[in-house]
Amino acid sequence: MAKNQKSSLFSFQNFCYIVIIFSICSIILFLSWTHCCSQCYPHFPYQTTPQNQTQNQNQNQPINLLLYPLAWNNLIFPSNTPSKLLKIALFVKKWPQISHAGGLERHALTLHLALANRGHELHIFTTSTNTSFINHSINKNLHFHFSQPSPAGYLDQSLVWDQFQQQNSTIKPFDIVHTESVGLRYTRSRYISNLAVTWHGIAYETIHSDIIQELLRPPQEPQTNAMKERTIKVVEEVKFFTNYAHHVATSDHAGDILKRVYMIPQERVHIILNGVDQQIFKPNISKGNDFKQKHKVPNSKSLVIGLAGRLVKDKGHPLMFEALKQIIKENKTFLETCIVLVAGDGPWATRYRELGKNVIVLGPLEQNELASFYNAIDIFVNPTLRAQGLDHTLLEAMLSGKPIMATRLGSIVGSIIVDNEIGYTFSPSVIALKKVLYESWSCRRGILKMKGEVARE
Ligand X SMILES: *[C@@H]1O[C@H](CO)[C@@H](O)[C@H](O)[C@H]1NC(C)=O
Q: How far is the CB of 215 from ligand X (least distance, A)?
A: 27
Looking at beta carbons only, is 189 or 393 nearer to ligand X? 189
Quote the CA–CA distance of 7 and 15 in Å, as a whole number.
Answer: 11
Looking at beta carbons only, is 99 or 350 nearer to ligand X? 99
Q: Is 404 within 8 Å of 379 (Cβ atoms)?
A: yes
Looking at beta carbons only, is 87 or 253 nearer to ligand X? 87
Q: How far is the CB of 192 from ligand X (least distance, A)?
A: 5
- What DSSP string describes 216-256? H--TTSPPPSHHHHHHHHHHHHHHHHTTSSEEEESSHHHHH
What 3-state DSSP class applies to 211?
helix
Q: How far is the CB of 111 from ligand X (least distance, A)?
A: 18
Looking at beta carbons only, is 189 or 415 nearer to ligand X? 189
Binding region for ligand X (CB under 6 A)? 48, 52, 54-55, 130, 132-133, 135, 137-138, 165, 168, 173, 191-192, 284, 286-287, 330-333, 438, 441-442
**CA-angle at 137, arms to 131 and 143, nearest 5°:** 60
Q: How far is the CB of 259 from ligand X (least distance, A)?
A: 26
Looking at beta carbons only, is 64 or 135 nearer to ligand X? 135
Residues 6+ apart with CB under 8 A from 433: 319, 320, 323, 383, 426
Q: How far is the CB of 73 from ligand X (least distance, A)?
A: 15
Would you call 42 exposed, middle or buried from its count of C-beta atoms within 10 A (0-12, 13-18, 19+)?
buried
The H-assigned helical ranges of 296-347 are: 317-330, 332-337
Q: Is 276 within 8 Å of 28 (Cβ atoms)?
A: yes
H or E segment to which residue 353 belongs: helix 348-353
Q: How far is the CB of 315 from ligand X (least distance, A)?
A: 26
Looking at beta carbons only, is 53 or 384 nearer to ligand X? 53
Looking at beta carbons only, is 1 or 312 nearer to ligand X? 1
Q: How far is the CB of 180 from ligand X (least distance, A)?
A: 18
Tell me, what DSSP letter sits at residue 7?
S
Q: What is the 3-state secondary structure (H, E, C) of 67-134?
A: HCCCCHHHCCCCCCCCCCCCEEEEECCCCCCHHHCCHHHHHHHHHHHHHHHCCCEEEEEEECCCCCCC
